[in-house]
């Protein structure tokens, strides 16, 4: 009886997996293999004349040697932005989950609301806000937080601020989801067991929210590392990130092999960091 039941169930599972598998095959596996192949083409060719497959692994070392500055800068900018998102997002998610009461839904809608406007338009808006003659810079100059000729636009600050702004919702939502799930009785139990509010936070709330922290930081860090819009619109030549270089190599220089190699390097670095991070955070042990 049991075996009779098991057989069709297994088959059903495969059928259910199939659509997603086909989708991933067409839109992820194939393009990825194509990218991998492109990164080993002979750079002597061009996008117009086509490339020869020469299995040229030197493309990777060349791309790395030429652009490691941008890779490091991307990781640093994305790291800072992720950290800022975590601080800002945690405070907000905590407030929504524990203190907002009947305002919960409205606040969550407000968190998501910016998505109704295009990413590009929102980033351009920051260009106006941080502009050299904008009210924000003028105000900072008036209170001497910025020298008279100081500027915000085209600085690392603007790029990191843009990244932080754009990816903040990706941090808040997973954080909120895991904070909201925390049983309030656990906080009461902690308080009952002599934990001051700060201790309750670090011993109970924070560890129980770790799945959200890990989820949020990954959703922020990974796309922020590869982002080029913020650096392109809010930065300068000295704040370019690896995404900008890849974009230039693909679209301006037409150097597909090196662009591909740089993309693969970025991917490998990010995947390695993520694996290290997830293992370190020990999230698989949580609940």
Partner 1 sequence: MADEVNRDLRLEGLRKRYPNGFVAVKDLDLVVPSGSFFALLGPSGCGKTTTLRMVAGLEDATKGTISIGDTDITHEKPYRRPVNTVFQNYALFPHLTIMENVEFGLKRKGVKETQVPVQEILELTELEAQANKKPAQLSGGQQQRVALARALINRPEVLLLDEPLGALDMKLRRAMQIELKRIQSEVGITFVHVTHDQEEAMTMADFVAVMNAGEIEQLGSPYELYTNPQTTFVANFLGRTNLIKGQVLGREGSGADEMVKVDMYGTTVSIKAGRVHTASPDVWIGIRPEKVIIQPQDKPIDGLGTHFSEAVVIDRSYTGVSTDYILKMPWGQNLVCFEQNTGRRGGLVTVGTKVDVLWRPEFAFLLDSSQDAEAGIGED
Q: Measuring CA to CA, which residue among 75, 88, 78, 273 is closest to residue 169? A: 88
Print burial letters for 89-114: b (CB count within 10 Å at least 16), e (below 16). bbebbbebbeeeeeebeebbeebeee
User: Residue 209: which residues within 8 A CB-CB, separation 6 or more?
Assistant: 90, 175, 178, 179, 182
Q: Find the shortest distance in angstroms from Cβ 281 to partner 1.
A: 12
Of positions 99, 102, 144, 196, contacts partner 1 by CB under 8 A: 196
Confirm or reject binding of residue 190 to partner 1 (CB under 8 A): yes
Q: Minimum Å distance from CB 192 to partner 1?
A: 5
| 57 contact partners, CB below 8 Å, separation of at least 6 | 40
246 with 232: CB under 8 angstroms? no
Judged by CB under 8 A, the stretch of 40-48, 65-73, 110-118, 199-207 that binds partner 1 is 199-207
Backbone dihedral angles phi then psi of residue 41, each to the nearest 5 degrees: -70, 165
**DSSP annotation of 46:** B
278 binds partner 1 (CB under 8 A): no
Q: Quote the least distance from Cβ 249 to partner 1, whole Å.
A: 46
Residue 178 lies near partner 1 (rule: CB under 8 A): no
Q: Which residues pair with 53 in a beta bridge?
A: 41
- Helices and strands counted in the chain (H then E): 13, 0
When asked if residue 203 is in the footprint of partner 1 (CB under 8 A), the reply is yes
Residue carrying structure tokens 């997603």: 20
Size of the site for partner 1 (CB under 8 A): 19
In the complex, the smallest distance separating the C-beta of residue 183 from partner 1, rounded to whole angstroms, is: 7
| Residue from 195, 269, 273, 281 binding partner 1 (CB under 8 A) | 195
Binding map of partner 1 across residues 206-245, x = CB under 8 A, - = no contact = -xx-------------------------------------
Is there binding between residue 287 and partner 1 (CB under 8 A)? yes
- Does 185 interact with partner 1 (rule: CB under 8 A)? yes
List, in order, residues 6 or more apart from 140 with CB less than 8 Å away.
Answer: 146, 150, 152
183 contributes a contact to partner 1 by CB under 8 A: yes
Using the structure block, give the residue that is written with the tokens 């009210």: 135
Question: What is each CA distance from 57 to 185, 253, 258, in whole angstroms?
Answer: 58, 20, 10
Q: Considering the complex, state which of residue 211 and residue 260 has its C-beta at the smaller distance from partner 1.
A: 211
Asked if 191 is part of the footprint of partner 1 (rule: CB under 8 A), the reply reads: yes
Choices 32-40, 136-144, 163-171, 178-186 (CB under 8 A): range interacting with partner 1? 178-186
Asked if 213 and 228 count as a contact pair (C-beta separation under 8 A), the reply is no
Of the residues 34, 68, 199, 251, which one makes contact with partner 1 according to CB under 8 A: 199
Q: Closest CB to partner 1 among 39 and 178?
A: 178
Q: Which residues of this chain interact with partner 1, rule CB under 8 A?
A: 183, 185-186, 188-196, 199, 203-204, 207-208, 286-287
């Amino acid at each position: 009886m049991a075996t009779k039941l098991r057989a069709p169930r297994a088959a059903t599972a495969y059928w259910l997996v199939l659509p997603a598998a086909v989708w991933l095959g067409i839109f992820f596996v194939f393009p990825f293999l194509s990218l991998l192949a492109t990164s080993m083409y002979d750079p002597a060719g061009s996008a117009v004349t086509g490339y020869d497959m020469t299995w040229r692994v030197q493309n990777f070392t060349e791309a790395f040697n030429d652009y490691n500055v941008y890779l490091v800068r991307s990781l640093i900018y994305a790291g800072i932005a992720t950290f800022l998102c975590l601080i800002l997002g945690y405070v907000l998610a905590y407030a929504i989950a524990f203190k907002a009461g009947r305002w919960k839904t409205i606040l969550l809608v407000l968190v998501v609301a910016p998505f109704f406007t295009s990413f590009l338009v929102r980033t351009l808006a920051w260009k106006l806000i941080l502009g050299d003659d904008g009210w924000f810079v003028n105000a900072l100059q008036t209170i001497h937080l910025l020298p008279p000729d100081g500027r915000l636009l085209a600085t690392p600050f603007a790029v990191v601020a843009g990244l932080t702004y754009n990816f903040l919702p990706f941090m808040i939502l997973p954080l909120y989801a895991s904070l909201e799930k925390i049983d309030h009785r656990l906080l009461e139990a902690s308080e009952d067991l002599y934990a001051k509010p700060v201790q309750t936070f670090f011993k109970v709330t924070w560890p129980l929210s770790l799945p959200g922290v890990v989820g949020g930081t990954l959703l922020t860090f990974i796309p922020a590392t590869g982002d080029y819009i913020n650096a392109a619109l809010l930065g300068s030549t000295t704040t370019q990130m690896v995404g900008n270089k890849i974009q230039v190599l693909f679209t301006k220089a037409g150097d597909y092999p090196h662009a591909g190699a740089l993309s693969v390097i970025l991917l490998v670095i990010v995947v390695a960091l993520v694996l290290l991070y997830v293992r370190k955070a020990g999230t698989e042990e949580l609940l």
